[in-house]
């Protein structure tokens, strides 16, 4: 609209005011309101009372009189402009108003040009920027704070979507736009907007048409931002449509609290607003407020009740009065001058030259913005962004014919049950745990918080995309010859949806050509493009997908693993040597001998057990050294140094034995796998080709997250393709999700998972962002998990046969003879050699003990008797044999002596005979 044309047209109606000159000692201020509205009536009484109070105090304006002129715009923006032009022609220094923001956007241009400050406590459009409109001042919290409070209430109760019903004018539209921004900051949104004609134009039929649309939407949280007449009409129609019953949530802006504070509520109106939440500008209790409230009935003659905007109206007048006082105290004078932009437009009937610029307007505006006073609304003043200090609201729950406060909202601490002024002295705390409100009686008279949404009643079924798999059809597949689908994922979805407290019409739509597994990223993207309303199947919850859709609670664990061809290392006769390297064996043996020698040196001089012939000492050293391996040494150590060395050595032997035992146990009982791929690190560093399942997120993960060259990746479509590629060496390993791999391994036992699972994720159902259905389905999945139904579904579809029977598995875990026959062979040879040596010694002793007697025929005639004699000899104790052998040796020696004596006696007798004969002869 051309401002000059508008001004010219308006001046036609102000002829009577064109020559008016302010009287000396009078300061003129104006006010533009629709007196027929609640706020207009309350503001008129409050402003007139404030003017009287200012004029009754000579200390304020120094004997000057403040004159207030009120112009009734009567719901008309055009008449509001006319009223503003009237004031500009009568040396008005400030104007209170306009009442609505649509008018404020136009009049602010006039204020900027003529330097007349406009102050409004009801035109609270947050888009009225002080940079664009420096002479327009909002003296009450603007709708930015009101919409922030509503957004925090929505977030506090856990709602994700709201429906906005608003009047189709600047103030309401811009307020709802601000609400959308504040909801988005909390990951909420306005899902549907419904505009109704502004006061007083809205008809019942128009409101009915809009609310029918609202009722068709899924959101049951409705924010109503309008004015009193239209607002009450909306609630009346809503009650008729059944929209004030249980399940709905209604939140209104401050217009409803104005109605409740200022006018009596009829029973019909009371029933139509039962359970509604509304806001009221918070004004702290004070003596000034109490006194003014007690005066109100007299001031209003009981015609209307006082609401917070009446308090702001009173304080706004005092704000202007204090600014004018400061203006005069600093030597200012009220003067007006012609506006140079209007030169040449003064001729004719319009008389535009009557519009003049207030010379002291800039100084007066500065004084207003520097206000620092305590009024009926508490401490009054402005922040650097020109918003009022300490914006806050009471949160009201409408109950019966009255209402009760359930808490407060302030820009300082958010939602609280403690009055904001009490919290201003404490550090700000807007943490979620600190947000608190009292209980609410919701529409329908219930204290149970409504869910806030229902499935939309628009007759359309939920379009659910389902992957048309060609492999691993246990998870999801098409029933042959039909359009039906089945599988583990489908059964979980059907079981969960049965637990919802409402009916959800849906239909499954297959996605894929049936020749290869579909791309799951494309399936998820089709939700964002509104092709599907949801996606159900074996869909992994990964980061890039959570950015565009919402997933339910995971119903199955998943994660990427590596499967590779493996061969079991066969055990052999010398497996017992594998725990130690040859060097370790050599060093250990050397230390055994070294410790034996050291202990012998330390014990030799003082310990009889380490003394004796050299041969015996060498044997003692060897025996002592190696018997410590089993802690079976029999020689005692008596020296302190010897005991110290032995204690340390025995500790070392204990560690060596334990390590050997653990390592040998692991080697013989744990399946040892030979594969060049040991895990994800070795797979990445190699240049071997890697297989992945067609449609899986593994491809993007390997390329984008692990920087694997795309040329190394080979797409595989089925378990058979896995097996073939692995056996032929086409791929070194296959990277896939664990549920698929487990089924693959249950059929093909020549492969194994190598390394650890290197991602952690799960499978879930995908829904559009901020879908309430995702939350309810998550709750249902948790219920399935808790009552065991989820496991039953898993067992129904995914219990596969293992590789071989349980008995064969147990048998493979048992230690086999082949692993120990080497040890048994050594032990057997040692035993055999010991027996042979022992037998030789026994035969030697037997032959020495039973030498050929004088009766050879007797011994040689009976071999059985000789064998029996040998066995008897072997059974005798060694001491007996030794004693008998000694006895026989003594007998033999005695016999020999006797024979010698006999021989000697015979010789003597011969000699004697000879001697006798000789003597005779002689």
Residue 891: both structure tokens together: 């007998």
- Cα separation, 237 vs 841, in Å, equals 122
Cα pseudo-dihedral 121, 123, 124, 130, rounded to 10: -90
> How large is the average pLDDT for residues 665-673?
66
**Which pLDDT does position 598 carry in this prediction?**
80
**Which pLDDT does position 139 carry in this prediction?**
95
> How large is the average pLDDT for residues 656-674?
73
Query: Does the pLDDT at position 349 exceed 60?
Result: no
**Which pLDDT does position 294 carry in this prediction?**
95
Task: Give the closest residue to 237 by CA, choosing from 273, 192, 207.
Answer: 207
Confidence class of residue 802 from pLDDT cuts 50, 70 and 90?
low
**Which pLDDT does position 12 carry in this prediction?**
40
- Cα separation, 452 vs 157, in Å, equals 9
Question: Burial, 515: exposed, middle or buried (Cβ in 10 Å; 0-12, 13-18, 19+)?
Answer: exposed
Alpha helices of 566-639 — where are they, by DSSP H? Answer: 582-603, 614-627
Higher pLDDT: 608 or 127? It is 127
Confidence class of residue 214 from pLDDT cuts 50, 70 and 90?
very high
- Cα separation, 438 vs 417, in Å, equals 7
- Is 222:450 a contact under the CB 8 Å cutoff? no
Confidence class of residue 398 from pLDDT cuts 50, 70 and 90?
very high
- Is 694:717 a contact under the CB 8 Å cutoff? yes
The region of weakest confidence among 166-170, 181-185, 907-911 is 907-911
Query: Does the pLDDT at position 660 exceed 60?
Result: yes
The DSSP bridge partners found for residue 654 are none
For the chain, what percent of residues have pLDDT higher than 90?
52
- Give the phi and the psi of residue 471 in degrees, each rounded to 5: -135, 165
> How large is the average pLDDT for residues 755-781?
91
- Give the phi and the psi of residue 161 in degrees, each rounded to 5: -135, 145
Higher pLDDT: 576 or 291? It is 291
> How large is the average pLDDT for residues 346-362?
73
The region of weakest confidence among 52-61, 321-330, 342-351, 682-691 is 342-351
For the chain, what percent of residues have pLDDT higher than 70?
85
> How large is the average pLDDT for residues 342-361?
70
Q: What is the pLDDT of residues 373-388, one digit of tens each?
A: 999 999 999 999 999 9
- Cα separation, 532 vs 542, in Å, equals 19
> How large is the average pLDDT for residues 326-337?
91
Task: Give the closest residue to 510 by CA, choosing from 462, 463, 461, 459.
Answer: 463
- Is the alpha carbon torsion for 441, 445, 448, 452 positive or negative? negative
Higher pLDDT: 640 or 277? It is 277
Over the range 828-856, which residues count as b (16 or more CB within 10 Å of their CB) and which as e? Answer: eeeeeeeeeeeeeeeeebeeeeeeeeeee
Q: What is the pLDDT of residues 604-639, one digit of tens each?
A: 767 777 777 888 788 878 887 778 777 667 677 777
Confidence class of residue 669 from pLDDT cuts 50, 70 and 90?
low
Task: Give the closest residue to 540 by CA, choosing from 530, 549, 531.
Answer: 549
**Which pLDDT does position 864 carry in this prediction?**
80
Query: Does the pLDDT at position 24 exceed 60?
Result: no
- Is 194:163 a contact under the CB 8 Å cutoff? yes
**Which pLDDT does position 876 carry in this prediction?**
64
> How large is the average pLDDT for residues 399-421?
91
- Cα separation, 75 vs 182, in Å, equals 30
> How large is the average pLDDT for residues 518-530?
94
Residue 418: both structure tokens together: 């403690």
The region of weakest confidence among 278-282, 709-713, 749-753, 814-818 is 814-818
Higher pLDDT: 909 or 734? It is 734
Task: Give the closest residue to 40 by CA, choosing from 210, 255, 233.
Answer: 255
Q: How far apart are the first and last CA of the chain?
A: 196
**Which pLDDT does position 122 carry in this prediction?**
93
Query: Does the pLDDT at position 582 exceed 70?
Result: yes
Alpha helices of 718-862 — where are they, by DSSP H? Answer: 719-728, 738-747, 772-787, 789-798, 806-813, 821-849, 856-860
> How large is the average pLDDT for residues 846-859?
55
- Cα separation, 304 vs 300, in Å, equals 6
**Which pLDDT does position 407 carry in this prediction?**
96
Q: Which residue has the tokens 């089993």?
A: 630
Average pLDDT of the residues of the chain:
84
**Which pLDDT does position 788 carry in this prediction?**
94
**Which pLDDT does position 18 carry in this prediction?**
36
**Which pLDDT does position 850 carry in this prediction?**
66
Confidence class of residue 821 from pLDDT cuts 50, 70 and 90?
low
**Which pLDDT does position 643 carry in this prediction?**
79
**Which pLDDT does position 640 carry in this prediction?**
77
Question: What does the angle CA 113 – CA 114 – CA 116 come to, to the nearest 5 degrees?
Answer: 120
- Is 698:736 a contact under the CB 8 Å cutoff? yes
Higher pLDDT: 898 or 393? It is 393
Long-range contacts, stretch 796-803, CB < 8 angstroms, 24+ apart: 796/488, 796/491, 797/474, 797/475, 797/487, 797/488, 797/491, 798/474, 798/488, 798/739, 798/742, 798/743, 800/742, 800/743, 800/746, 800/747, 801/746, 802/746, 803/745, 803/746, 803/749
Mapping DSSP to helix (H, G, I), strand (E, B) and coil, where does residue 223 land?
Answer: strand
**Which pLDDT does position 229 carry in this prediction?**
93
**Which pLDDT does position 568 carry in this prediction?**
63
**Which pLDDT does position 857 carry in this prediction?**
45
The region of weakest confidence among 284-298, 478-492, 575-589 is 575-589
Confidence class of residue 565 from pLDDT cuts 50, 70 and 90?
confident
Concatenating the DSSP letter of every residue in 650-680 gives: HHHHHHHHHHHHHHHHHHHHSPPEE-S--SH
Query: Does the pLDDT at position 644 exceed 90?
Result: no
């Amino acid at each position: 609209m051309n401002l000059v044309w508008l001004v010219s047209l308006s001046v036609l109606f102000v002829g009577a005011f064109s020559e008016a000159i302010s009287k000396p000692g009078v300061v003129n201020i104006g006010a533009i309101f629709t007196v027929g509205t609640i706020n207009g009536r309350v503001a008129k009484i409050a402003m007139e009372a404030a003017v009287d109070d200012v004029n009754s105090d000579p200390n304020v304006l120094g004997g000057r009189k403040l004159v207030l002129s009120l112009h009734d715009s009567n719901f008309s923006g055009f008449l509001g402009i006319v009223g503003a032009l009237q004031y500009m022609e009568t040396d008005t220094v400030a104007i209170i108003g306009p009442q609505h923001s649509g008018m404020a956007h136009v009049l602010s241009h006039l204020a900027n040009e003529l330097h007349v400050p406009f102050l409004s406590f009801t035109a609270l459009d947050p888009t009225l920027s002080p940079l664009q409109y420096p002479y327009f001042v909002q003296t009450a919290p603007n709708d930015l704070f009101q919409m922030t409070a509503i957004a925090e209430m929505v977030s506090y109760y856990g709602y994700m979507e709201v429906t906005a019903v608003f009047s189709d004018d600047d103030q309401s539209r811009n307020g709802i736009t601000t609400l959308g921004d504040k909801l988005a900051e909390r990951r909420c949104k306005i899902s549907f907007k419904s505009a109704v004609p502004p006061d007083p134009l809205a008809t019942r039929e128009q409101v009915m048409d809009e609310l029918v649309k609202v009722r068709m939407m899924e959101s049951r949280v409705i924010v109503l931002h309008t004015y009193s007449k239209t607002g009450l009409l909306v609630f009346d129609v809503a009650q008729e449509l059944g929209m004030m019953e249980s399940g709905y949530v209604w939140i209104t802006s401050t217009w409803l609290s104005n109605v409740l504070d200022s006018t009596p509520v009829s029973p019909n109106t009371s029933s139509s607003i039962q359970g509604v939440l509304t806001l009221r500008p918070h004004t702290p209790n004070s003596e000034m407020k109490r006194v003014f409230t007690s005066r109100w009935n007299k001031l209003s003659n009981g015609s209307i009740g006082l609401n917070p905007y009446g308090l702001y109206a009173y304080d706004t007048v005092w704000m202007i009065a204090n600014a004018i006082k400061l203006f005069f105290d600093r030597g200012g004078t009220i003067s007006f001058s012609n506006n140079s932009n209007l030169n040449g437009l003064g001729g004719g009937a319009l008389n535009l030259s009557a519009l003049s610029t207030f010379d002291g307007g800039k100084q007066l505006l500065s004084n207003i913005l520097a206000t620092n006073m305590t009024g009926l609304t508490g401490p009054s003043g402005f922040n650097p962004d020109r918003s009022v200090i300490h914006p806050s609201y009471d949160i009201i729950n409408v109950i019966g014919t009255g209402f009760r406060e359930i808490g407060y909202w302030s820009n300082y601490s958010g939602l609280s049950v403690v009055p904001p002024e009490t919290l201003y002295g404490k550090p700000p705390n807007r943490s979620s745990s600190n947000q608190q409100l009292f209980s609410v009686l919701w529409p329908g008279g219930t204290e149970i918080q409504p869910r806030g949404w229902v499935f939309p009643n628009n007759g359309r079924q939920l379009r659910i995309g389902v992957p048309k798999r060609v492999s691993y059809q246990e998870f999801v597949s098409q029933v042959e010859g039909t359009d039906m689908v089945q599988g583990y994922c489908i059964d979980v979805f059907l079981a969960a949806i049965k637990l919802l407290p409402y009916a959800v019409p849906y239909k499954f739509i297959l996605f894929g050509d049936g020749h290869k597994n579909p791309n799951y990223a494309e399936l998820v993207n089709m939700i964002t493009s509104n092709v599907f309303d949801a996606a159900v199947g074996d869909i992994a919850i990964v980061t890039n997908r959570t950015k565009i859709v919402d997933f339910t609670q995971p119903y199955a664990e998943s994660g990427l693993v590596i499967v590779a061809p493996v061969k079991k290392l066969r055990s052999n006769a010398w497996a017992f040597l594998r725990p130690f390297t040859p060097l370790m064996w050599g060093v250990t043996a050397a230390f055994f001998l070294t410790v034996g020698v050291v202990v012998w040196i330390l014990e030799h001089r003082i310990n009889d057990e380490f003394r004796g012939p050299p041969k015996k000492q060498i044997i003692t050293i060897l025996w002592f050294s190696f018997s410590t391996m089993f802690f079976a040494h029999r020689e005692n150590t008596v020296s302190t140094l010897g005991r110290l060395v032995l204690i340390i050595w025995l500790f070392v032997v204990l560690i060596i034995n334990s390590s050997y035992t653990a390592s040998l146990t692991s080697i013989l009982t744990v399946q040892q796998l030979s594969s060049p791929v040991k895990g994800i690190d070795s797979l990445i560093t190699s240049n071997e080709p890697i297989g992945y399942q067609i449609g899986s997120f593994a491809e993007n993960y390997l390329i984008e997250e692990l920087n694997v060259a795309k040329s190394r990746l080979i797409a595989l479509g089925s378990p058979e393709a896995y097996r073939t590629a692995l056996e032929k060496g086409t791929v070194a390993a296959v990277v896939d999700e664990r549920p698929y791999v487990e089924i693959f391994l249950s059929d093909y036992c020549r492969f194994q998972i190598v390394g650890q699972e290197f991602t952690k994720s799960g499978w879930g159902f995908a829904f559009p962002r901020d879908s309430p259905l995702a939350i309810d389905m998550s709750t249902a999945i948790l219920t399935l998990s808790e009552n065991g139904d989820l496991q039953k579904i898993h067992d129904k579809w995914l219990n596969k046969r293992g590789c071989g029977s349980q008995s064969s598995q147990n048998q493979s875990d048992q230690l086999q003879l082949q692993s120990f026959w080497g040890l048994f062979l050594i032990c057997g040879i040692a035993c055999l050699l010991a027996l042979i040596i022992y037998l030789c010694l026994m035969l030697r002793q037997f032959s020495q003990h039973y030498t050929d007697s004088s009766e050879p025929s007797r011994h040689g005639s009976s071999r059985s008797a000789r064998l029996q004699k040998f066995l008897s000899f072997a059974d005798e104790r060694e001491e007996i044999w030794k004693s008998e052998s000694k006895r026989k040796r003594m007998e033999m020696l005695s016999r020999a002596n006797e024979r010698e004596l006999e021989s000697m006696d015979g010789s003597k007798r011969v000699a004697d005979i000879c001697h006798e004969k000789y003597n005779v002869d002689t």
